[in-house]
């Protein structure tokens, strides 16, 4: 990858941030910049300040502002709608996925995921943002 | 199965994040059970508890720990079912819920070791399924052949080290400290014989550098040995619940300070004394419901377990809101054992419960139930360089206060000399040192005092304290070391201040015939064995007599 990619991770679990950190430091995504937010509100503030984001990885269950509230706010404000949002959900919650898509999520990442899943997801959202 | 998990190197972070969550779940479910049993709502606790278990589930799945993920998942389902349908909230179902949280704690904790009781997981999950299907839960026996090995087995980027190796490492640090203080000793003697030279200044600088490095090494080794108390604390919620159930009482345990960190060697040794004190509090300390109601108390008793770091270690308290200690009975029992009990003040009598033989099994009923083997508790605390005291208010409750050091080995001390003997006192207990002149020491009620920061500070002669046989007026001591412990302060009169030293505390050498004021010994740079004084006992009121006053 020659272009520098920037990702926003919004998750209340420190462990997940470290997992993304690991994935974005290796393989095809090595050298990416990551912005970290530990709840929806923090994440939204970072979203407002970073129009250059390649994608947002948004956890669903969080304190303060959850993933769905984040998406609703973004739609209401028309904030950085060009930035793809990947909703991160647990495998057994198809309902959440539907609600996420309705609220404006582009993609899903289901836990448990592996590094290759993130790489594929990133490839997909980059494609759609280029053509879309 | 998951040995090549991409995130295996984050196993430590996983445990660090999920263990407290699993413990919160266990505590939370106990509270839920308590409320439901009392006919109250617990819905306000549900969102947080659901979130906590959900996070553990997601993280466990990410780490490839399928057993933990499965248990978390079944716990979520069970909790949801119990929330939705009050008719299902029967004791067996609540037990399953609590077992789930405890199982989760164990699975998270053993994630790095790869040990997991797969059979227990399977049996528990089957129990939950049966419960959810509306059947009586299957007996919690492990099926003989569980084909699935669902134990966590992810490989980790962490090295597991036999704790004895850390002990050995600490021993070596101790030896380095002793060797370094020997160097410092030689350098000082060189200076005093030869005066300052360029070489002695260089030597001084090198020793300084070595001391800094040793300090860093000591801190680094110490850091590898620190573990939080949460593991030990986690065991008690269940202990209290079970003990309360079997003695037909309602008791709630409240804990705080579980994140306080201590040397593993100390945490390991604390488990048993705490189990003892907490069981005693449930079984003997708090009253039965009807007695409590008669005294205008809540039917449910509360036992509080708290830990907090202080300058020289950690203070743990175990308190109950029960009937308190019965001073008369304790005194009676002490006299029956042939002890002299001069005081009638309850505060002077309560500590007698730590006297060996006083709190034996047969004494249980006669002592208002308190104190099976409290002498054992006290001696195990003393053995780790700690102490235990008790406070009690009749009808209102009892509190045990345990002080323990953060580590067993290295102590920073002030070294001083009195009657040609050297002593060390832990620096954490030294407020300051003062020069005393003739006439600074006054006598009030046959006790020596000095005026210090506008207050009268009782002073004792250092030599008399440690039994070195000082004679009044033999030598006017030149310094007062102001020692504090707990809420008390006392000045100790000494001849000479030698300086600060990190020393490696060794146990007591019986051959040396120490007084009760000595907590341990250490070997100094010149090879001499030096006693480390017990600050707590140094400030305790002296029984009967006071030290010789020097004027």
Q: Which of residues 153-182 of B touch A (CB under 8 A)?
A: none
pLDDT of res. A130: 59
* Interchain proximity A111–B54, CB inside 8 Å: no
SS3 B155: coil
Pairing of strands B397-404, B313-320: antiparallel
Q: B363, B365, B382: which is closest to B373 by C-alpha?
A: B363
pLDDT of res. B366: 32
pLDDT at residue B311 is higher than 50: yes
Instruction: Sketch the domain layout of chain A as residue ranges.
Output: 6-131
pLDDT of res. B528: 78
* Interchain proximity A16–B59, CB inside 8 Å: yes
pLDDT at residue B511 is higher than 80: no
Place of tokens 């972070």: B13
CB-nearest to B61 from A23, A61, A111 is A111
Listed in sequence order, the residues at least 6 apart from A8 whose beta carbon sits closer than 8 Å to its beta carbon are: A34, A35, A37, A43, A46, A47, A50, A53, A55, A56, A57
Residues of chain A neighbouring B51 (CB-CB closer than 8 A): 61, 63
pLDDT of res. B158: 63
pLDDT of res. B449: 86
**Distance separating alpha carbons of residues B406 and B312, to the nearest angstrom:** 7
Q: B533, B537, B525: which is closest to B189 by C-alpha?
A: B525
ipTM of the modeled complex = 0.84
Q: Is B366 on the interface with A (CB under 8 A)?
A: no
Q: Which of residues 15-74 of A touch B (CB under 8 A)?
A: 15-16, 18-19, 22-23, 61, 63
pLDDT at residue B524 is higher than 60: yes
* DSSP codes of every residue in A11-60: -S-HHHHHHHHHHTTSGGGTT-EEEEESSHHHHHHHHHH-TT-SEEEEES
Q: Which two tokens stand for residue B258?
A: 């579980």
* Interchain proximity A15–B57, CB inside 8 Å: no
Average pLDDT value for residue range B502-524: 68
pLDDT at residue B360 is higher than 60: no
Q: Answer whether 0.90 is exceeded by the pTM.
A: no
Average pLDDT value for residue range B500-525: 69
* Interchain proximity B61–A18, CB inside 8 Å: no
**Distance separating alpha carbons of residues B454 and B160, to the nearest angstrom:** 55
The residue among A112, A113, A114, A120 with the most chain B CBs within 10 A of its CB, best to mutate, is A112
Q: A129, A84, A86: which is closest to A110 by C-alpha?
A: A86
pLDDT at residue B548 is higher than 50: no
**Are B240 and B303 in contact, with CB atoms under 8 Å apart?**
yes
**Are A121 and A24 in contact, with CB atoms under 8 Å apart?**
no
Distance from the Cα of A132 to chain B's closest Cα (Å) equals: 32
Question: Which ranges constitute the DSSP H helices of B110-162?
Answer: 118-132
Residues of chain B neighbouring A90 (CB-CB closer than 8 A): 54, 57-58, 61
| Bridge partners, B389 (sequence order) | B401
Q: Which two tokens stand for residue B286?
A: 């708090």
* Interchain proximity B9–A61, CB inside 8 Å: no
> How many beta-carbon pairs below 8 A join chains A and B?
48
**Are B189 and B149 in contact, with CB atoms under 8 Å apart?**
no
**Are B287 and B215 in contact, with CB atoms under 8 Å apart?**
no
* DSSP codes of every residue in A86-127: EEEEETT-HHHHHHHHHHT--EEEEES--HHHHHHHHHHHHH
The residue among B58, B61, B62 with the most chain A CBs within 10 A of its CB, best to mutate, is B58
* Interchain proximity B6–A22, CB inside 8 Å: yes
Q: Which of B107-116, B253-262, B306-315 is the most confident on average? A: B253-262
Bond preceding residue B337 cis, omega within 30 of 0: no
Residues of chain B neighbouring A11 (CB-CB closer than 8 A): none
Q: For a pLDDT cut of 70, what percent of chain B falls above it?
A: 84
Place of tokens 């409750």: B397
The band of B537, judged by pLDDT with boundaries at 50, 70 and 90, is: confident
* Interchain proximity A14–B61, CB inside 8 Å: no
Tens-digit pLDDT profile for residues B132-142: 887 544 444 33
Mean pLDDT estimate for chain A? 86
* Interchain proximity B61–A22, CB inside 8 Å: no
Residues of chain A neighbouring B57 (CB-CB closer than 8 A): 90
**Distance separating alpha carbons of residues A80 and A75, to the nearest angstrom:** 9
Fold classification of B229-404 is Heat Shock Protein 90 (3.30.565)
The band of A85, judged by pLDDT with boundaries at 50, 70 and 90, is: very high
End-to-end CA distance of chain A: 21
pLDDT at residue A112 is higher than 70: yes
**Are B370 and B325 in contact, with CB atoms under 8 Å apart?**
yes
Distance from the Cα of B11 to chain A's closest Cα (Å) equals: 9
* Interchain proximity A15–B6, CB inside 8 Å: no
| Bridge partners, B401 (sequence order) | B317, B389
Residues of chain B neighbouring A15 (CB-CB closer than 8 A): 10, 13-14, 17-18, 59, 62
What CATH number belongs to B410-539? Answer: 2.40.50.180
Tens-digit pLDDT profile for residues B395-432: 899 999 998 887 766 777 888 988 888 889 988 788 88
The band of B147, judged by pLDDT with boundaries at 50, 70 and 90, is: very low
3-state helix, strand, coil in chain B (%, to 5): 45, 20, 30
Mean pLDDT estimate for chain B? 80
* Interchain proximity A112–B61, CB inside 8 Å: yes
Listed in sequence order, the residues at least 6 apart from B388 whose beta carbon sits closer than 8 Å to its beta carbon are: B273, B354, B377, B378, B381, B400, B401, B402, B403
Q: Which of residues 61-80 of B touch A (CB under 8 A)?
A: 61-64, 69, 73
CB-nearest to A15 from B54, B59, B73 is B59
Instruction: Give the chain A residue nearest B57 (alpha carbons).
Output: A90
* Interchain proximity B55–A61, CB inside 8 Å: yes
* Interchain proximity B58–A13, CB inside 8 Å: yes
**Are B308 and B260 in contact, with CB atoms under 8 Å apart?**
yes
Listed in sequence order, the residues at least 6 apart from A64 whose beta carbon sits closer than 8 Å to its beta carbon are: A39, A40, A41, A42
The band of B157, judged by pLDDT with boundaries at 50, 70 and 90, is: low
**Distance separating alpha carbons of residues B423 and B341, to the nearest angstrom:** 32
R_g (Cα) of chain A, nearest Å: 13
* Burial class, B347, CB count within 10 angstroms (exposed 0-12 / middle 13-18 / buried 19+): exposed
Listed in sequence order, the residues at least 6 apart from B460 whose beta carbon sits closer than 8 Å to its beta carbon are: B448, B490, B491, B492, B493, B542, B546, B547
**Distance separating alpha carbons of residues B132 and B8, to the nearest angstrom:** 33
R_g (Cα) of chain B, nearest Å: 28
Place of tokens 């999950």: B125
pLDDT at residue A43 is higher than 90: yes
Instruction: Sketch the domain layout of chain B as residue ranges.
Output: 8-132, 168-226, 229-404, 410-539
Q: Which two tokens stand for residue B508?
A: 């007591």
Tens-digit pLDDT profile for residues B37-75: 888 889 899 988 998 999 899 899 888 888 999 999 999
Residues of chain B neighbouring A115 (CB-CB closer than 8 A): 6
Instruction: Give the chain A residue nearest B21 (alpha carbons).
Output: A13
CA B309 to chain centre: 10
Q: B87, B114, B82, B88: which is closest to B101 by C-alpha?
A: B82
pLDDT of res. B487: 65
pLDDT of res. B145: 34
**Distance separating alpha carbons of residues A57 and A122, to the nearest angstrom:** 10
Q: B289, B336, B1: which is closest to B147 by C-alpha?
A: B1
pLDDT of res. B168: 83
**Distance separating alpha carbons of residues B334 and B330, to the nearest angstrom:** 6
CB-nearest to A112 from B14, B18, B62 is B62
The residue among B2, B8, B55, B76 with the most chain A CBs within 10 A of its CB, best to mutate, is B55
**Distance separating alpha carbons of residues A100 and A67, to the nearest angstrom:** 8
Q: Which residue has the higher pLDDT, A41 or B188?
A: A41
Q: Report the 10 Å Cβ neighbour count for A58.
A: 28
Sign of CA dihedral B264, B56, B309, B300: negative
**Distance separating alpha carbons of residues A42 and A64, to the nearest angstrom:** 9
Q: Which residue has the higher pLDDT, B548 or B163?
A: B163
- Max CA separation in chain B (angstroms): 90
Q: Is B46 on the interface with A (CB under 8 A)?
A: no
* Interchain proximity B13–A14, CB inside 8 Å: yes
* Interchain proximity B61–A13, CB inside 8 Å: no
**Distance separating alpha carbons of residues B517 and B458, to the nearest angstrom:** 17
Q: For a pLDDT cut of 90, what percent of chain B falls above it?
A: 17
* CATH entry, A6-131, from 3.40.640.10, 3.10.150.10, 1.20.1250.20, 3.40.50.2300: 3.40.50.2300
pLDDT at residue A32 is higher than 50: yes
**Are B157 and B170 in contact, with CB atoms under 8 Å apart?**
no
* Interchain proximity B51–A18, CB inside 8 Å: no
pLDDT of res. B241: 86
Q: Which residue has the higher pLDDT, B312 or B395?
A: B395
* DSSP codes of every residue in B58-104: HHHHHTT-HHHHHHHHHHHHHHHHHHH-GGG--HHHHHHHHHHHHHH
pLDDT at residue A12 is higher than 50: yes
Q: What are phi and psi of B104, to 5 degrees?
A: -60, -45
pLDDT of res. B201: 87
Q: Report the 10 Å Cβ neighbour count for B461.
A: 27
Superfamily of domain B8-132: HPT domain (1.20.120.160)
pLDDT of res. A7: 94
Residues of chain A neighbouring B55 (CB-CB closer than 8 A): 12-13, 61
Give the range among A76-80, B308-312, B430-434 with minimum mean pLDDT: B308-312
Tens-digit pLDDT profile for residues B197-241: 888 888 889 999 998 898 888 888 888 888 888 878 877 888 888
The band of B467, judged by pLDDT with boundaries at 50, 70 and 90, is: low
Q: Is B14 on the interface with A (CB under 8 A)?
A: yes
């Amino acid at each position: 990858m020659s272009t520098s990619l920037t990702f926003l991770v919004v998750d209340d679990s420190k462990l997940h941030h470290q997992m993304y950190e690991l994935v974005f430091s290796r393989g095809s995504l090595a050298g990416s910049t990551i912005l970290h937010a530990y709840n929806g509100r923090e994440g939204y503030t970072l979203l407002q300040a970073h129009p250059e984001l390649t994608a947002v990885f948004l956890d669903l269950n969080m304190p303060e502002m959850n993933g769905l509230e984040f998406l609703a706010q973004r739609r209401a404000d028309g904030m950085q709608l060009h930035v793809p949002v990947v909703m991160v959900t647990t495998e057994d919650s198809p309902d959440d996925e539907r609600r996420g898509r309705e609220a404006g999520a582009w993609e899903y990442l289901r836990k448990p995921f592996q590094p290759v899943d993130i790489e594929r997801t990133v490839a997909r959202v980059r494609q759609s943002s280029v053509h879309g | 199965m998951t040995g090549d998990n991409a995130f295996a190197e984050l196993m430590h972070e996983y445990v660090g994040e999920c263990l407290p969550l699993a413990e919160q779940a266990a505590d939370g479910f106990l509270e839920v059970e308590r409320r439901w049993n009392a006919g109250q709502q617990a819905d306000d606790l549900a969102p947080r508890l659901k979130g906590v278990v959900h996070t553990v589930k997601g993280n466990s799945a990410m780490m490839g720990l399928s057993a933990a993920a499965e248990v978390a998942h079944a716990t979520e389902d069970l909790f949801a079912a119990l929330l939705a349908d009050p008719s299902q909230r029967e004791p067996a179902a609540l037990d399953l819920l609590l077992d789930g949280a405890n199982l989760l704690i164990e699975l998270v904790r053993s994630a790095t070791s790869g040990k997991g009781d797969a059979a227990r997981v399977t049996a528990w999950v089957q129990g939950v399924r049966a419960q959810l299907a509306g059947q009586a839960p299957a007996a919690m026996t492990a099926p003989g052949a569980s084909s699935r090995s669902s134990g966590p087995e992810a490989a980790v980027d962490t090295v597991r080290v036999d704790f004895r190796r850390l002990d050995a490492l600490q021993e070596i640090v101790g030896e380095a400290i002793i060797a370094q203080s020997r160097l410092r000793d030689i350098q000082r003697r060189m200076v005093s014989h030869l005066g300052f030279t360029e070489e002695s200044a260089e030597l001084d600088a090198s020793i300084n550098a070595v001391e800094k490095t040793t300090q860093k090494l000591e801190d680094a080794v110490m850091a590898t040995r620190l573990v939080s108390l949460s593991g030990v604390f986690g065991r008690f919620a269940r202990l209290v619940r079970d003990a309360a159930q079997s003695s037909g009482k309602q008791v709630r345990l409240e804990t705080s300070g579980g994140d306080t960190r201590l040397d593993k060697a100390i945490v390991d040794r604390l488990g048993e004394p705490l189990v003892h004190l907490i069981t005693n509090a449930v079984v003997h300390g708090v009253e039965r419901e009807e007695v409590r109601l008669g005294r205008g108390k809540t039917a449910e008793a509360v036992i509080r377990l708290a830990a907090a770091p202080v300058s020289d270690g950690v203070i743990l308290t175990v308190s109950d809101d029960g009937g308190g200690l019965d001073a008369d009975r304790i005194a009676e029992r002490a006299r029956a054992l042939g002890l002299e009990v001069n005081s009638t003040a309850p505060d002077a009598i309560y500590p007698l419960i730590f006297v060996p033989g006083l709190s034996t099994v047969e004494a249980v009923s006669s002592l208002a139930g308190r104190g099976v083997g409290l002498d054992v508790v006290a001696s195990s605390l003393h053995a780790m360089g700690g102490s235990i005291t008790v406070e009690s208010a009749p009808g209102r409750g009892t509190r045990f206060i345990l002080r323990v050091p953060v580590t067993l080995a290295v102590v920073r001390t002030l070294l001083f000399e009195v009657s040609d003997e050297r002593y060390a006192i832990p620096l954490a207990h030294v407020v300051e040192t003062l020069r005393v002149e003739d006439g600074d020491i006054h006598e009030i009620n046959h006790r020596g005092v000095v005026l210090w920061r506008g207050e009268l500070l009782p002073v004792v002669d250092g030599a008399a304290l440690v039994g070195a046989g000082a004679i009044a007026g033999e030598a006017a001591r030149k310094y007062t070391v102001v020692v504090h412990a707990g809420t008390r302060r006392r000045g100790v009169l000494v001849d000479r201040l030698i300086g600060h030293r990190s020393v490696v505390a060794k146990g007591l050498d019986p051959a040396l015939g120490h007084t009760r004021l000595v907590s341990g010994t250490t070997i100094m740079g010149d090879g001499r064995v030096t006693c480390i004084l017990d600050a707590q006992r140094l400030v305790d009121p002296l029984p009967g007599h006071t030290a010789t006053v020097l004027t």
